[in-house]
Structure formats: C-alpha cells, structure tokens
Structure 1
Amino acid sequence: MNSIIFRVGSTVVLPFALLLSLYLLWRGHNEPGGGFIGGLIAAAGYACYALPRGHAALRKVLPIDSLQLLAFGLSAALISGIAGLMGNAAYLTHAWTEVAGIALGTTLLFDIGVYLTVLGAILTFLSLFLEQ
C-alpha cells in the first residue's frame, strides 16, 4: 500500500472524517446518528491514514492507546446508566437537563461511550493487523 495518491489523500481525509464523526456523535442523541456510526467514521479516517504509513504512524497520530479508548468507552456507557438507578428508575433510564438553552442528558454520555468503544475496538484490530 505504498501509493503516493493514497498517502496524500489520506492526509486530507483524516481531519474531515474526525469532524464528521464528532458532528454525527453530537447530533445522534436527538436525531439519527450517534456513537456507533461516529466511531466507525473516525476509525475509517484513522485506517485511511495508517494503512499507507504503517503502525508507527498510527501510534504517532493517535494520542491514547486503543485499548484504553475501549476501556474508557465501556466505562462511560456503564456510568451513564447510574442516573436512572439514582432516580428510582430502571438502569439506563436517561436523565435530561438544560444548560444555556442546550438540552444535555446521559444519552450523550452513553453515545460517547459507544463512540469510544467502537473506535477503540476497530483501532485495536487495525493496530494488530499493522504490526504483522
């Protein structure tokens, strides 16, 4: 995969993929989108960047280990359900509040957890693939 076109194109694709994934993550707790598709798009951007460059480039551009991303994601998704238990409701009954006219809730925390879990799982697989 030593194509100059792929190498240059992936430099442009990565930032746009990350921005699109964050947009879909943010919009997903109220409209279609969310953590799963956002995590897939972010992972695709990292994959496009790393495939022509190798494992060292993926480590350089990724600020945190992929297994840690996976662990943070699972933790965030699990923690998001505690608000329901504290309010004498079922686990994962989401709580909502409004801050400066913006509706925020534990669904966003759950979506962030799914986003990080999907991103961490795919990047772990990609990292293992690139090491060989």
Structure 2
Amino acid sequence: MRTLILKTASNYMLPLLLVFSVFILLRGHYLPGGGFVGGLIASIAFVLHAFANGLETTKELIRIHPGFLMPTGLGLAFVSGIGPLFTDKPFMTGLWFPELPPPLSVLGNIGTALFFDIGVYFVVLGVTLTIIFSISEST
C-alpha cells in the first residue's frame, strides 16, 4: 500500500508527530501523558513512515538499532531513581532542581521525574519499534 498520497503525507507527518510526542513527553511530568504515551506516538510516526516508504528507508532514517534505545532508557530511568539516595531520601523520590535561566525556563521545573519519563520514552520507543520491525521483516 505505497500510494503517492500516503508517501507524501507520511513525509510531512513524521516530523509533526515527533514534535507532538516530545510535547506530550514534556507535558507529562505536570499533567497526564509523559514518557509512555510520547514513546507510543513517536513509534507510530516511524511505523507510518515504514508503511509508506518501506522498512529499509525508515531504518536508514533512524540510523541506530531500536534495540539500543531499551537499555539506554532503562539506565536513564534507573539513574533518575537512585539519584535521591545520595541526598538521604528514598529510592524514586522526586528531586527538583533550581529554576533555569530565561531561555530554558520554558521547560518549567526540571526534576528527576522528567529524566524518568525520558527513560520510559526511550524504552517504549525501542520495544515498540523492535517488535514492529521484527514482524515486518518476517513477512
């Protein structure tokens, strides 16, 4: 199902969906959303691109194996969880850093919850793309 309309739409939708997934990721440590939903949206963007342009084109676009994202994200989530142990607080306690200077203050308060969400984002993206790409290669 590689029509011209789907190819053109997927090329425009990929960056839009990736930006939207980052928005959901950053929104998530204040409101519902976060790493899991953002990772799913990002993986949907790449799956749509793979359906329209072929699996090999999408793999060239990603440049790294999606399986590499899983341990990276898991490590980042674990490090954000053990960070509070160094301040005599329990595991996975949220720590908030001082306010950022004006150009970066648009991100809001940065804390360990954001880094945990980024880790979950990478894990979900890696797992989903690994499963979908494996299924696509076997058919």
Scaled by the length of structure 2, the TM-score of the pair is: 0.88
Which residue identity does 2:70 align to in structure 1? L
- Note the aligned Cα RMSD (angstroms): 1.3
Higher strand share: 1
| Shift of residue 26, structure 1, vs aligned partner | 1.1
Task: Give the whole-Å Cα distance in 2 for the aligned partners of 1:103 and 1:18.
Answer: 22
Q: Is the 8 A contact 1:51 1:130 kept in 2?
A: no
Greater Cα offset, 52-61 or 32-41: 52-61
Determine whether 1:108 maps to 2:114.
yes
Match of 1:30 in 2: 30
- Alignment of structure 1 residues 30-49 onto 2, 5 Å: 30-49=30-49
Q: Write out the 4+ residue segments of structure 1 that deviate beyond 3 Å after TM superposition.
A: none
Number of aligned pairs? 132
Task: Give the whole-Å Cα distance in 2 for the aligned partners of 1:2 and 1:97.
Answer: 48
Task: Give the whole-Å Cα distance in 2 for the aligned partners of 1:50 and 1:66.
Answer: 14
| Shift of residue 20, structure 1, vs aligned partner | 0.2
Greater Cα offset, 26-35 or 106-115: 26-35
Which residue identity does 2:117 align to in structure 1? D
Scaled by the length of structure 1, the TM-score of the pair is: 0.93
* Counterpart secondary structure, 1:110: helix
Greater Cα offset, 32-41 or 97-106: 97-106
Task: Give the whole-Å Cα distance in 2 for the aligned partners of 1:48 and 1:39.
Answer: 14
Identical-pair percentage: 37
Question: Structure 1, residues 94-116: CA drift from partner, whole Å, max 9, x if none?
Answer: 11112225411011100000000
